[in-house]
Structure 1
């Protein structure tokens, strides 16, 4: 694909807007004479499909002199928009990442290109759309990280561990120090006449980076945010499409943004599961960034307080270069180290309680807890078995004192009867964020107790004395930083049935500790073992290397790639045969093994789905392209056969036995 017009050529090759995998290829259409001078690659068009009366939307990818199709070509019906919204670079990226994940390029383009808004587009074409950057002020050289920018615009691939601690901007706002570091790097790339894309997990991270950029005089940032209205998002996309360098910030789909003269892609906290795309073909923003940097020659920067296992692997194989200077880190102590032999620890040991009491009189104190809500688990008071919902078999918890309900479907748990002993009384087990607040209001009666979780989010708290109870990932920024950060429930978090439980814990704890004031401290209230020890001592580099070594030995991601195949037994067997065939052609092919097939579990994770099975393929990175191609071939054949069998029937839900593929699922080995 090139940014071109038809230039006398008579055939346009078009990608249709469809989720059907058997249609994931280019279709040839004749260009009618009245459109020959207007049509451009990247434009949206309407074309007849299967009949002249049935129209489909599509995107012009390229032009050719003649078609290989033996019959008469249908003609393009109309050009939907004169604006080419798909650039050649984004098309190459979409095709490559879709192929890598055995998916459809159209699914990637739906993430990359927002829904068209006619009024917004007309304003943009007329030049009347507001430009937030028209009043940008020049920044001083020392405000930009020119050394880092020079490496990035030269195509370097880097990983940095960000220093702990908040910083105060010239505007008076407090942000994480990491956001100012990324802002300076992006500004320096932009100063060299190149675009920079910065990908961040959620809107709070975006707000901090936006504030940091604005404080350095760059208000004209292009923000692509899932919380924007359709009009706002499309307007931002059109600004990114302009042929001039931009700083583009956004959530996971921003990695696909059009960017003129792309110089660098920066990703903050790639270990956050929010950066894993939940829609097919489920491509992680990190993987898309790696592909895009490789195609374009742009630099790539991974920054975090705790490096992901995937980035650690890239560092150890030499593909990414890690920084050599250790970051500034909050002092961490373990409550056990200050306990007397006869002291009672409990959930909040005496040492941690003393720190909370002392420091919450001087300023804000953060207490991180494992789970939101009141009590995460309800159990039978007679036998102690965990209570399950009678409607969906989901876990029951307490929303508030005495009020129990299913945590999945919300069904009230009254009346309730135990399936084991027929008991009818529920009791609480564990403490969520709301119950912790109640406890602290009694235990620390002089303190102002605040809550921040998914239902009660706070972005910031002021510098006044307070006790802030927050779930992991919902911790607000405190003006000046927290006097102390206390981490509860380490055992519960480490006990999560997930391959990545320890890695996630280290990330949650480091991110919380990074919110402390420069003279503050972090207290690990309980817990032990290698992960806790690595966090307390700060020897996280050794821990990450050891963790990756263990995953190599056991063939777990990211030491290998994985693909899960789910569907009816016959469909999955055909997929398995295609994988077996790979080994049969060359018995010496290393690095591939198959787990299963086994009965697939339903949404609850407990009940089996009749007739549906799943297998997991583990394979070395070098085999990825071939395995994706073979599994995709089986998927396309299955979808085409299904379409032929159901043609003419009323539309309905997808067949439960239909084949489903998912590559590189971070939760594939979770309990």
Structure 2
């Protein structure tokens, strides 16, 4: 970042975060260093000669323009009448316009008004000419602290984005009525809570004790099945508050936030935490955010946007179910909540807790690298808490007369009938729209490119082509079993609530999905048909669960297909009663596959560790860092040719980007209707992620500065690399 005369404005090195954390040098992002340029100094003055503030008459402003070539600070003069209100962190409006293709940068009379943040007051400017004055202090409420600015800069550097775009995500829109409303008085620190159900974990009590004592433990928590997870999270927050520090918990959706909210209220009472979700509405949410920023509330529970909540004296950051898609922001620069909290843990030197019923590869990497410790239960505790899991493969379906008639195998029929005698039965149905990929017909191993290990896809005329690098594969054979035949994996879900209603006419059927998501259902016998992620909680737990069409999720053209399928299956199974209470889960998928075997053993950690080792061997994320560059073929080629990529960078592709289907919403990175885009992947080994992000950001900024017409989209760590 630089001022107009080229002086650097930050000392950040844009390092990776992730499993390696952030080195101490990244703390320099919070304290900007200024190299004085050797230019004549001029006392700042406005064009109209208005009286200026006597002390620190220069305001350094970050304008709210999310374009990379303007990702720097601009100096403005502070009029005397604004002196009291124009303090660091407040929202301001300034003159900022363009004329004949040249940015005026607030230096001339005229130009449009634009919002911004006052970052710093200074005695003099590095700019030698006259300065335009601040047009308006929107509000004297300081909303941008030094800590939040440093975090936003670290996130922008990691994701090759602009600081203004990150602050759009971090600071909610202003509500004047909320600002006028006084925040409640802060409550004294509560006493440390008891361990509760944390005693089920081998080091659960020690983890709470460390939080209560003011320590900063870092843990990856494999939660046991059942509803206790929200109370366990609440106890971790309460232990942190007992040490006089603040806590932040990020969950994937409003239903999960409501459960943690209820658990915290039951444990600590009202007024000790804020709930930050979109359901609250803009004014109420901003009022809650202000209470946190002012220090009246020291704990926050919320969905994705809460990852930037300005909690004072932060002692703990926690994330639940980090594999959920909802944790990945869809607005530029598209950060993931897990990575933002990792940066916060490093910058604030606070405790970190990543929890879930399942385990992602990124979580396994945190433990493998030694950055975090595992927080797990013994196998006997797992067996007591988990339901019995049984499997039905597609070959069994083919031999089963009942399955051919109703697409429900006999074992599943029996499990549903038996479960309905004791309570509700959950039926998980994959969403529509999954795209098939190719797999070995004999052992079902995914077909991958011999050059880059990307997924092989069947193009026109039956030709096999890599979805990453675009190379054709003419002589594929399976490295696992030596087979030469391929099959397209099963697509979609055909079971519907109406079909089940006809099969069980005397049983109520409830549905939960994208259009209508149920939060809870009674504990009486009923069939509950749900898509993954929309499963309601049953009072007393489900008597049984049926996981249909497993190939539909395992066959997705996605690096995370197996991990995601297991995560969704375990999330459904965690709502079922324990095996000791006759809880049963039936999964319709090939029993020999790794995710299915991990479900049977209830061993998501073991699955993640094996996946991590395989990705390390093949150079897949998170062991490597990747970036996706999308646009027209010419634009992508020009962009990559101009970018000063690290020497160890490997460019895969480009390959065509699937168009947006008529009537479907446009996906991030997808071409506009009627346009044909291509996508290239850039892969670098560990340690080069920050250099890759910096190179792509510099190339994109240069492209924007010269007004290139065709858009090029850059995304760091894309979740859907195939």
Q: Same fold (TM over 0.5)?
A: yes
In structure 1, what is the equivalent of residue 588 of structure 2? Answer: 525
8 Å contact 1:136–1:218 — kept in the other structure?
A: no
Match of 2:147 in 1: 89
1:135, CA displacement in angstroms? 12
Which of the two has greater strand per residue?
A: 1
1:568 Cα shift? Answer: 4.5
The 8 Å contact of residues 335 and 352 in structure 1, kept in 2 or not, is answered as: no
Please tell me whether residue 330 in structure 1 is matched to residue 386 in structure 2: yes
Q: Which moved more, 1:473-482 or 1:31-40?
A: 31-40
Q: Is the 8 A contact 1:159 1:321 kept in 2?
A: yes
Deviations 1:298-353 (A, max 9, x none): 11100011111111112111112112533634133324499899744453211211
Residue 654 of structure 2 corresponds to which residue in structure 1?
597
Other structure's SS at 1:497 match: coil
CA distance in 2, matches of 1:492, 1:606: 26
How many residue pairs end up in the alignment?
580
Cα separation, partners in 2 of 1:555 and 1:340, compared to 1, 3 Å: closer
- The equivalent residue for 1:103 is 161
Query: Match of 1:423?
Result: none
Alpha-carbon distance in 1 for matches of 2:675, 2:248: 45
Tell me what 1:418 maps to: none
Q: CA deviation at 1:630?
A: 1.5
The aligned residue for residue 587 of structure 1 is none
Q: What whole-Å deviation, never above 9, does each CA across 1:53-75 have from its counterpart, x for those lacking one?
A: 32221101122222111211111
Deviations for 1:517-572, whole angstroms, at most 9, x for unmatched residues? 23222222343322211211234333222211221222221121111112345543
1:493 is aligned to 2:553: yes
Give a deviation string over 1:158-184, Cα, whole Å, max 9, x none. 10100101xxxxxxxxxx221111011
Q: SS in structure 2 opposite 1:289?
A: helix
SS state of the match for residue 75, structure 1? coil
**CA drift at 1:149:** 3.7
Task: Specify which of 310, 331, 355 is matched with residue 303 of structure 1.
Answer: 355
Counterpart secondary structure, 2:279: coil
Describe the shift of the 1:582–1:140 C-alpha distance in structure 2 as closer, same or farther (beyond 3 A): closer
Q: Which position in structure 2 is the counterpart of 1:665?
A: 718
Q: TM-score, normalised by structure 1?
A: 0.80
Deviations 1:598-621 (A, max 9, x none): 444433479997674432101123
Corresponding residue for residue 154 of structure 1: 215
- 1:270 maps onto 2:322 in alignment: yes
- Closer, same or farther: CA 27–482 of 1 in aligned 2, 3 Å: same
TM-score (norm 2): 0.75
Q: Output one character per residue of 1:394-431: Cα deviation in whole Å (capped at 9) or x when no partner.
A: xxxxxxxxxxxxxxxxxxxxxxxxxxxxxxxxxxx987
Label 1:615 to 1:342 Cα distance change in 2 as closer, same or farther (>3 A): closer
In 1, distance between residues paired with 2:606 and 2:194? 36
- Aligned equivalent of 1:192, options 230, 234, 243: 243
Change beyond 3 A, Cα 1:486–1:325: same
Aligned-residue offset at 1:218: 3.0
- Which of 79, 83, 90 is residue 43 of structure 1 equivalent to? 90
Q: Which runs of 5+ in 1 are unaligned?
A: 166-175, 378-428, 584-589, 646-654
Task: Note if contact 1:639-1:658 (Cα within 8 Å) is conserved in structure 2.
Answer: no
> Taking structure 1 as reference, are residues 283 and 94 closer, same or farther at Cα in structure 2, changes over 3 Å only?
same
Report the Cα distance in structure 2 between the residues aligned to 1:614 and 1:572, rounded to whole angstroms.
8
Shift of the alpha carbon at 1:446? 2.2
Which is worse superposed, 525-534 or 247-256?
525-534
Alpha-carbon separation, structure 2, partners of 1:55 and 1:342: 72
**Post-superposition shift, 1:292?**
1.0
Aligned twin of 1:227: 279
Shift of 1:285: 0.4
Q: 2:69 aligns with which of 22, 27, 30?
A: 22
d(CA) in 2 for partners of 1:233 and 1:370? Answer: 33
1 CA distance for matches of 2:695 and 2:315? 35
Cα offset, 1:516, TM superposition: 0.9
Structure 1 residues 556 and 340, CA, compared in 2 at 3 Å: closer, same or farther? closer
Q: What is residue 461 of structure 1 aligned with on the other side? A: 521
Deviations 1:475-533 (A, max 9, x none): 00001111111211112221122111100000001100100123222222343322211
The answer to whether the Cα contact below 8 Å between 1:42 and 1:59 also exists between their aligned partners in 2 is yes
Checking the alignment, whether the CA contact within 8 Å between 2:358 and 2:605 is kept in structure 1 is no
C-alpha distance in 1 between matches for 2:151 and 2:624: 23
Aligned pair in 2 of structure 1 residues 566, 492: CA closer, same or farther (>3 Å)? Answer: closer
User: Are the aligned partners of 1:194 and 1:245 in contact in 2 as well (CA < 8 Å)?
Assistant: no
What is the aligned counterpart of 1:257 among 284, 309, 318?
309
Q: Answer yes or no: is the 8 Å Cα contact 1:361–1:466 preserved in 2.
A: no
Q: 1:371 aligns with which of 411, 431, 445?
A: 431
- Residues 426-445 of structure 1 mapped to structure 2, 5 A cutoff: 432=493, 436-445=496-505
- What is the CA–CA distance in structure 2 between the aligned matches of 1:204 and 1:437, rounded to whole Å? 23
Counterpart residue number, 1:404: none
> After the TM superposition, which of the residue ranges 22-31 and 142-151 deviates more from structure 2?
142-151
Structure 2 counterpart of 1:399: none
CA distance in 1, matches of 2:621, 2:288: 36
> Is residue 144–residue 187 contact of structure 1 (8 Å, CA) maintained in 2?
no
Q: Which structure 2 residues correspond to residues 564-643 of structure 1 after superposition, within 5 A?
A: 564-569=628-633, 571-578=635-642, 582-583=646-647, 590=648, 592-604=649-661, 612-642=677-707
Distance 1:494 1:185 in 2: 35
Following superposition, the deviation at residue 151 of structure 1 comes to 3.5
CA contact (8 A) 2:54 2:80 kept: no
- Which residues of 2 match residues 163-562 of structure 1 at below 5 A? 163-165=224-226, 176-220=227-271, 221-244=273-296, 246-326=298-378, 328=382, 329-336=385-392, 343-344=400-401, 345-346=403-404, 347-371=407-431, 432=493, 436-518=496-578, 519=581, 520-528=583-591, 529-562=593-626
User: Structure 1 residues 607, 69: CA separation in 2 closer, same or farther (over 3 Å shift)?
Assistant: closer
Instruction: State which drifts further: 505-514 or 344-353.
Output: 344-353
Q: Retained in 1: the 8 A contact 2:492–2:552?
A: no
Separation in 2 of the partners of 1:341 and 1:440? 20
RMSD (CA atoms): 3.0
What CA deviation, in whole Å up to 9, does each residue of 1:252-300 have, x standing for no partner? 1111010011000000000001100001101100111111111010111
Q: CA deviation at 1:575?
A: 3.4
Secondary structure class of the residue paired with 1:83: coil
Contact 1:486 1:523 in 2 (8 A): yes
Going from structure 1 to structure 2, the CA distance change for 1:150 and 1:532 (only over 3 Å counts) comes to same
Secondary structure, counterpart of 1:556 in structure 2: coil
For residues 608 and 120 of structure 1, what CA distance do their matches in structure 2 show? 41
Deviations along 1:30-87, one digit per CA (max 9) or x if unpaired, are 2222222332110011112234332221101122222111211111122111110111
* Alpha-carbon distance in structure 1 between the residues aligned to 2:175 and 2:614: 50
Q: Is the 8 A contact 1:21 1:636 kept in 2?
A: yes
- Distance in 2 of aligned mates of 1:339 and 1:29: 74
CA distance, structure 1, for counterparts of residue 646 and residue 149 of structure 2? 30
Moved more, 562-571 or 184-193: 562-571
Instruction: Supply the distance in 2 between the matched residues of 1:613 and 1:498 (Cα, whole angstroms).
Output: 18
Tell me if the contact between 2:435 and 2:557 (Cα under 8 Å) persists in the aligned partners: no
| Gap change, CA 1:462 and 1:376, over 3 Å in 2 | farther
Aligned pair in 2 of structure 1 residues 2, 223: CA closer, same or farther (>3 Å)? Answer: farther
**Residues 496 and 581 (structure 1), Cα distance of their counterparts in 2 relative to 1, 3 Å cut:** closer
Are 2:425 and 2:544, in contact at CA under 8 Å, matched by a contact in 1? Answer: yes
